[in-house]
Structure 1
């Protein structure tokens, strides 16, 4: 598909309880590349194969969770147009000045109906992946430290009124619905989870209906193969990382996965696989009684921790 409009997940700022413990965990255990610290004390990371300056920002706080997520758009003209479109839709926006995040241009920020702060940006410094642009090797030293994910793949966010989020993302921001999960028949089978893409991935962002706004379920890190997901599981075991689910395979999105928690209790995922949808596909539906296999296909099990623990 032609890549226009919103291109991909760009960054997420997480709240962590102990910055130095978290810095070591994200750098040495997950295997991200540390790219800077700003005047506020926030620490910046990227996955080894990402070209932009950062995709994960850590901020020390009294509670864990997510401050905001940012998605990269094609160019500045696209950023300006999307801001006009969001305003015309009825949401207030604010311009966050260039330099507020290290090596990042001006950002357009607004609050989603689910209570999350969402932002769009066009410019971030290109730092490369350490392999060069001419005759590069297929991998380098940063690709072997820790779990070594290749990129920030998506996020799953919990909050109120995901129906309004779906309308905003599909009618204004150019995303399309790939999969959905329905609630119980006695409740009228409402959509309780939606998986949205701006690319040809199974999801670039997903939302689950939840009584509290603005909650993080997980950040997902892309692994190149199932074997690398399993290797990540070994590294979790070597470092006593608490695992939520996995290794297993989703029915939903067909992804292969392990979910675990960082030292602050923020859940993260090591993810690979899936399939390649395009905007003309008919969305896949998972019924309430079938979602056990959607979550954990081999076991057909709804894991209570997965459904209830968020930050």
Structure 2
């Protein structure tokens, strides 16, 4: 599969209520690699197997939630082209100068119809995964600290008018629809949730219809196997981390998962598995009456917290 245009999820900036508590949690319990603190006081992390300088950024705030999510594009020419296309779609953009985020180049930011701040960028400093580029071992010491996710995988975001988001992502940004959840027939079977990819992952970003704009459901951190998801759940138990759902398997995406909350109340996911779609695959549809299995396949249960709690 040729990788052009938008390449992958690059970063998410989260608001936390106590920065030092959150720093220790994301570093020592989740096991992300801390890579710096900037002049604004923001703390930067990456997964142990990520090559770029940062992917998860924490900011002290009075309310929890997400400030913005960013995706990496192929090069500067692609960034310029996509900015023009977004403007032609009818959405205004702003340029965030290089260096505003540590080791990150110029970013193009715009607001999605769902109210989320979304951005594209072409450059972030390559710092590697600590294993080297010549005859590397399969893992290093960072792969054993805490839950040790390999990388930032995706976000699930809640907001109004996901139909407009779908149009923007598929017609302008080059994503394709992988799965969807539709509502009841008596309501006209509207799309209630959409899972979209710019790669051959089951989803690089997902959206759920919700009346309040700009809400975070969860940030997902990639684990290398189902065994590592189960290990992460043990670490959550040992550290008295509040678990929402799991360990279990999704029907939607076939992913293996545990959902839990960070100390500020932001939900995060440890995620593994899933199948490998391509853009010519026909999207999978889940009906709402079967979404209990879509969420928690073994139990077939619609967890109330999953549907209602966002930050």
How big is the shift at 1:282? 0.3
Give distance in 2, aligned partners of 1:210 and 1:186: 19
Instruction: Render the CA deviation track for 1:63-116: whole Å, top value 9, x for unaligned.
Output: 000000000000000000000000111100000000000000000000000000
How big is the shift at 1:185? 1.6
How big is the shift at 1:184? 1.5
Match in the other structure for 1:121: 121
Give distance in 2, aligned partners of 1:142 and 1:117: 31
TM-score w.r.t. length of structure 2: 1.00
Instruction: Render the CA deviation track for 1:173-217: whole Å, top value 9, x for unaligned.
Output: 000000000011221110000000000000000000001000000
SS at match of 1:163: helix
SS at match of 1:24: helix
Show structure 1 runs of 4+ deviating over 3 A: none
Give distance in 2, aligned partners of 1:111 and 1:160: 13
Could you list the runs of 5+ residues in structure 1 that have no partner in the other structure?
none
How big is the shift at 1:35? 0.3
Instruction: Render the CA deviation track for 1:35-78: whole Å, top value 9, x for unaligned.
Output: 00000000000000000000000000000000000000000000
Give distance in 2, aligned partners of 1:41 and 1:265: 20
Give distance in 2, aligned partners of 1:34 and 1:296: 32
Q: What is the correspondence of 1:67-82 to structure 2 with a 5 Å cutoff?
A: 67-82=67-82
Give distance in 1, aligned partners of 2:48 and 2:118: 24
How big is the shift at 1:261? 0.2
Q: What is the correspondence of 1:191-270 to structure 2 with a 5 Å cutoff?
A: 191-270=191-270
Give distance in 1, aligned partners of 2:103 and 2:295: 38
Instruction: Render the CA deviation track for 1:257-307: whole Å, top value 9, x for unaligned.
Output: 000000000000000000000000000000011111000000000000000
Match in the other structure for 1:292: 292
Give distance in 1, aligned partners of 2:30 and 2:125: 23
SS at match of 1:252: coil
Could you list the runs of 5+ residues in structure 2 that have no partner in the other structure?
none
Give distance in 2, aligned partners of 1:126 and 1:17: 30
Give distance in 1, aligned partners of 2:122 and 2:216: 24
Give distance in 2, aligned partners of 1:212 and 1:183: 18
Match in the other structure for 2:151: 151
Give distance in 1, aligned partners of 2:18 and 2:117: 23
Cα RMSD for the two superposed structures = 0.3
Say if 2:8 is the partner of 1:5. Answer: no
SS at match of 1:228: helix
Give aligned pairs, total.
311
Q: What is the correspondence of 1:123-142 to structure 2 with a 5 Å cutoff?
A: 123-142=123-142
TM-score w.r.t. length of structure 1: 1.00
Match in the other structure for 2:83: 83
SS at match of 2:253: helix
Give distance in 2, aligned partners of 1:158 and 1:71: 18
Match in the other structure for 2:166: 166
